[in-house]
Amino acid sequence: MECEFPTINSNKEQVKEIFDTVKTIAVLGLSPDETKASHRVAKYLQEVGYKIIPVYPKEDFILNEKVYRSLAEIPFAVDMIDIFRKPDALIAIAQAAIKRGDVKVFWSQQGIVNNEAAAMAEKAGMQVVQNQCAMIDHRNL
């Protein structure tokens, strides 16, 4: 697979606005393994006051939060999705986020870019952040 350069991305001011307005973040690919980036980032976001919703194919609880198997299973509003999945999974994730209708931010972590999925999310009215770490960006702001 070829790496993409993000052609759609939010700027620093938009990222600040994202962190100022979102409250609920679904973390797709949140590993129960404390050594994994997804776990460290989600734990940090939880510690600074965001409601974390783990989305993972196994486990019942991660970071003391109920785990859902998919974005579609979450029975309440989701402000932002923070994605720790391979780039080829992002089109299906964008479609699921669009179908929900409540996701405001489509965020793919460092090293994860899919411009087609980003364009779909943006066209549906979501803010898009690609190839950036939510923990690092939040700390830097």
pLDDT of 19-45, one tens digit each? 999 999 999 999 999 999 999 999 999
pTM here is 0.94
Do residues 82 and 71 lie in contact, with contact meaning Cβ atoms separated by under 8 Å?
no
Q: Which CATH number fits domain 12-140: 3.90.580.10, 3.40.50.720, 3.40.605.10, 3.40.710.10?
A: 3.40.50.720
Summarize pLDDT for 68-120 with one digit per residue, the tens.
999 999 999 999 999 999 999 999 999 999 999 999 999 999 999 999 999 99
Return the domain boundaries, the chain: 12-140
- CA–chain centroid gap for 82, Å, is 1
